Structure 1
Amino acid sequence: MVILEAPYPLPHSLPSCQHSLFEVLYVFSKDPFGPPPTHSPFLWPHYHRKSLFICPESTLLTSVSSFHSFPQVSLISSPPRTPYLDPGIFFPQVCHNAAAQGCDPPSPTGLQATQESPHVYTREEVRSHSSPETRIWVTLGCEVFDVTEFVDLHPGGPSKLMLAAGGPLEPFWALYAVHNQPHVREMLAQYKIGELSPEDKVTSTLKTSDPYIDDPVRHPALKVNSQRPFNAEPPPELLTENYITPNPIFFTRNHLPVPNLDPETYRLHVVGPPGGQSLCLSLDDLYKFPKHEITVTLQCAGNRRSEMTQFKEVRGLEWNIGAISTARWAGARLCDVLAKAGHQLCETEAHVCFEGLDSDPTGTAYGASIPLARAMDPEAEVLLAYEMNGQPLPRDHGFPVRVVVPGVVGARHVKWLGKVSVEPEESYSHWQRRDYKGFSPSVDWDTVDFDSAPSIQELPVQSAITEPKDGETVQSGEVTIKGYAWSGGGRAVVRVDVSLDGGLTWHVAELDGEEQRPRKAWAWRLWQLQAPVPAGRKELNIVCKAVDDSYNVQPDTVAPIWNLRGVLSNAWHRVHVHVAP
């Protein structure tokens, strides 16, 4: 990297520049100066050596003035490596007379071109930087990064990034394909502080230790939102072809690699209460409990997130309308198993916590919880399911045992179930405490407080149009419109209204599906409407909205329900179609 060194005192100010960001390398010629000012926003992993960072111009101007008292500072700038910076920005023009009103460049004789070599660290040095006190270093390939200032900004939460502290990122990046994006690499490049020593450079294990190598084969009709971990939904035209969704096209929501479990050695651990009996259950043991069967619709909290993204950017998988499916589930009732272990309802609040056997390289498993009152209620029909549509659970859907919580968001239906316990508080899992929560449209990632919002349990009323598709051309005369409707908490859908003109006039659709008991409507209703196409119309703006038995109805637009995670998206579903002449 070619740099220009200016061996003169650091200036009080810098000339104004049309560019909003600078990339600067500070090198101190004295070692050490003592600790840098505490209000410095810059990265100082080795402030007596060098610090590479990108910062706003206003921040640079403010902070540079705080360092002018260090007389032997060399200010060096390098060609920026990020696409939003002009590679022509250098600092030989820097003003070095704090009292001067103007900004005259220093004499050319005071500048010299040099070649800066990256600092070299051993893996042992990297391992010693694994906490905020020692600063947090990580490696990727042969490069070393100080990510101390980024930990609290990590989209997955600080705890996830801290798993890699003092070591390589590869095992964790391999879990989430989103890391393999150019903008992520560019973001990480801002925190580079050096390279690994030659003897510590090793080939990345990303390919040789691929945690997804044993994932099951999936149906080609599924629309994939993420390969690693695998997340996919059926196309709309297949979603409502059957009331019961066939196993191969049931939407798939995975957070981690799919475990390959041996049914012969599988054990479910159920922690008993104080003085009670903990259970270690094989599949055969579960089969001995009374078998219970129910039809239940599962919906991801992020279903229809893509519509929120169209309004304003959110974080999460771009689900269309297919992150919802219905199956016939069979297994042991959770209340029977908990009772066998000695649990009973208590006056104080308690939660049943579930842990899956899917985990990351550190052993951190997916987890979630539901209130004990729901788990112990026979009428809630919570299952430890081992069958799906009359067959053993497919691997993608939790083989050999998963939780099925009727009327509750899919995130609580823990798959590959390994442990059940009753705790005074809800699960401390990231996915319970730091995800799957709704917030005001005014909350952003700078102001969000996850502790201020309850975890999503029951979902709001929902409906969507599966036929015709957006942009399709329909025949004049009569149009057939199909879709689904569902509401959480066992609330039955009592009506679906459909409009062909964006909501000015309405038709009532015909509902189809199983008859369900009041307050136990765990499954969706499919609906259909055949309506005449108004004469002379060239386009139709088709809209649907559902009403449940509590007279909850969907909001008409996304704006008032938008949230930074894109969950709970249930505005009127809209499809624009053309009418054939």
Structure 2
Amino acid sequence: MPGVRGPSDYSKEPPRHPSLYINSKEPFNAEPPRSALFRSYVTPVDLFYKRNHGPIPMVDDIESYSVLISGLVEKPKKLSVKDIRMLPKYEVTATLQCAGNRRTAMSKARKVRGVGWDVSAIGNAVWGGAKLADVLELVGIPKLSSSSKSGGKHVEFISVDKCKEENGGPYKASIPLIQATSPEADVLLAYEMNGEPLNRDHGYPLRVVVPGVIGARSVKWLDSINLIAEACQGFFMQKDYKMFPPSVNWDNINWSTRRPQMDFPVQSVICSLEDANAVKPGKVTVSGYAVSGGGRGIERVDVSFDGGKTWVEASRFQKFGIPYVADDESSDKWAWVLFEATADVQRSTEIVAKAVDVAANVQPENVEDIWNLRGILNTSWHRVQVRVGHSNM
């Protein structure tokens, strides 16, 4: 790729915030403390989780950087960042979440394989860039197309990033063409994050943002875009990020029996408390995030201060001073909501959160029921233990 290259080693990694919890150094995978998340509706860039599969690509010459759009299209085209910036700019507030968020808790039920994420492999940002639907019109594909004239039905994104899972080849993923060409799906070729140019960790100079879908499909460091007849055949589409039942193990797995995971399920997490907490008796307030995939708003967040016996409904908000109404025009449909609930706590207990989206999907109670060998999509009720002390507190 002219102007951008994928280094062969980790000697030129960018600086990172010192508060991040590092889950692996090479490749660098890290998440912020959970307490950092509920304090801000828009997650600061430095505290946005870092998910990588290889060394961070380097930009040598931004002027020579371009993205090739080819494959099953009538008019293949190379686009520079300048070309993309000339298209109408949109800002989309969207939450990205790694499919492995909360994997550590799932591994306590039975061992799983993957990066050991706690609850912070998630973040909410304001992404700025061109809509993919506008970009694809430049190569002759009208909006709301499910197939190109040449039979292309999927849009494949190929990264500059090289990874061992692809035998040293590039990271890649795809989405259906009908999603890519729908202006309402808000799929972006993003060059900004929270009003600033993307940094290296988050895909500079150009990345894909696919709202409402697991983070693995929002390809960073974009090299090229291909229109293809079938879904991408890359490792992370065909041999990873698929949801299997608890009965499947590494001896009997058949990857071809499952579709690549796209939307993420409804999720909520308490962020104001750690897994074990000491508090004084009296009023206890808990705060956290709730989000659902596919643009589905959060209808309700239930919090229990007695281990799930009784429940109170939490307040929900996105922007301070503006009431949150699920699926209302004033709400960000691709973004998380923050929640808060308060109760009187006089004895040691378990505090639990569960969210319900507008389609009445609700988080499953037990992690064992959704256990899978890759440890993805742990959306079970989130629980924290609280120990109440009456002295020396």
Length-normalised TM-score, structure 1? 0.62
Cα deviation, 1:117-148, whole Å, max 9, x if unaligned, reads: xxxxxxxxxxxxxxxxxxxxxxxxxxxxxxxx
Paired residue for 1:182? none
- Number of aligned pairs? 370
> CA 1:248 to 1:452, structure 2 compared with 1: closer, same or farther past 3 Å?
same
Paired residue for 2:3? none
Instruction: Could you tell me which runs of 5 or more consecutive residues in structure 2 were left unpaired when the two chains were aligned.
Output: 1-5
Paired residue for 1:270? 69
Shift of residue 531 of structure 1? Answer: 1.1
**Root-mean-square deviation over aligned CA pairs:** 1.7
2:38 is the counterpart of 1:240 = yes
Indicate which of 81, 86, 94 corresponds to 1:296: 94
CA contact (8 A) 2:133 2:182 kept: yes
Shift of residue 431 of structure 1? Answer: 0.7
Q: What secondary structure, in the 3-state scheme, does the structure 2 residue paired with 1:298 have?
A: strand
CA contact (8 A) 1:273 1:343 kept: no
Cα deviation, 1:53-93, whole Å, max 9, x if unaligned, reads: xxxxxxxxxxxxxxxxxxxxxxxxxxxxxxxxxxxxxxxxx
Paired residue for 2:214? 409
2:204 is the counterpart of 1:399 = yes
Shift of residue 388 of structure 1? Answer: 0.1
Alpha-carbon separation, structure 2, partners of 1:574 and 1:561: 16
2:112 is the counterpart of 1:314 = yes
Paired residue for 1:475? 280
2:230 is the counterpart of 1:432 = no
Shift of residue 421 of structure 1? Answer: 1.2
Alpha-carbon separation, structure 2, partners of 1:317 and 1:577: 27
Alpha-carbon separation, structure 2, partners of 1:541 and 1:303: 21
Alpha-carbon separation, structure 2, partners of 1:317 and 1:399: 23
Cα deviation, 1:175-220, whole Å, max 9, x if unaligned, reads: 9xxxxxxxxxxxxxxxxxxxxxxxxxxxxxxxxx961111111111
> CA 1:517 to 1:314, structure 2 compared with 1: closer, same or farther past 3 Å?
same
Cα deviation, 1:496-515, whole Å, max 9, x if unaligned, reads: 00011110011111101045
One-letter amino acid of the counterpart of residue 353, structure 1: E
Paired residue for 1:446? 251
> CA 1:358 to 1:499, structure 2 compared with 1: closer, same or farther past 3 Å?
same
Alpha-carbon separation, structure 2, partners of 1:210 and 1:488: 35
Cα deviation, 1:410-432, whole Å, max 9, x if unaligned, reads: 00000000111111111111111
Paired residue for 2:264? 459
Shift of residue 346 of structure 1? Answer: 4.0
Paired residue for 1:572? 381
Alpha-carbon separation, structure 1, partners of 2:261 and 2:206: 23
Q: What secondary structure, in the 3-state scheme, does the structure 1 residue paired with 2:133 have?
A: helix
Alpha-carbon separation, structure 1, partners of 2:65 and 2:384: 47
Paired residue for 1:369? 174
Q: What secondary structure, in the 3-state scheme, does the structure 1 residue paired with 2:268 have?
A: strand
Paired residue for 2:51? 253
Q: What secondary structure, in the 3-state scheme, does the structure 1 residue paired with 2:175 have?
A: strand
Q: What secondary structure, in the 3-state scheme, does the structure 2 residue paired with 1:308 have?
A: helix
> CA 1:448 to 1:369, structure 2 compared with 1: closer, same or farther past 3 Å?
same
Shift of residue 259 of structure 1? Answer: 0.4
Residues 156-175 of structure 1: matches in 2 within 5 Å? none
2:362 is the counterpart of 1:553 = yes
Paired residue for 2:13? 215
* Identical-residue share of aligned pairs (%): 48
One-letter amino acid of the counterpart of residue 240, structure 1: F
Q: What secondary structure, in the 3-state scheme, does the structure 1 residue paired with 2:308 have?
A: coil
Shift of residue 517 of structure 1? Answer: 4.3
Residues 308-347 of structure 1: matches in 2 within 5 Å? 308-344=106-142, 345-346=145-146
CA contact (8 A) 2:297 2:333 kept: yes
- If you compute each CA radius of gyration, which structure gives the higher value, 1 or 2? 1
One-letter amino acid of the counterpart of residue 310, structure 1: K
CA contact (8 A) 1:267 1:283 kept: yes
Q: What secondary structure, in the 3-state scheme, does the structure 2 residue paired with 1:242 have?
A: coil
Instruction: Could you tell me which runs of 5 or more consecutive residues in structure 1 were left unpaired when the two chains were aligned.
Output: 1-174, 176-208
Alpha-carbon separation, structure 2, partners of 1:407 and 1:360: 25
Shift of residue 221 of structure 1? Answer: 0.7
One-letter amino acid of the counterpart of residue 265, structure 1: S
Q: What secondary structure, in the 3-state scheme, does the structure 2 residue paired with 1:467 have?
A: coil
Paired residue for 1:12? none
Q: What secondary structure, in the 3-state scheme, does the structure 2 residue paired with 1:248 have?
A: helix
Q: What secondary structure, in the 3-state scheme, does the structure 2 residue paired with 1:478 have?
A: strand
One-letter amino acid of the counterpart of residue 257, structure 1: P
CA contact (8 A) 2:212 2:263 kept: yes
Cα deviation, 1:255-307, whole Å, max 9, x if unaligned, reads: 11110113222111111644x22111111111100001110000000000011
CA contact (8 A) 2:296 2:327 kept: no
Alpha-carbon separation, structure 1, partners of 2:29 and 2:378: 18
CA contact (8 A) 2:180 2:187 kept: yes
Shift of residue 385 of structure 1? Answer: 0.2
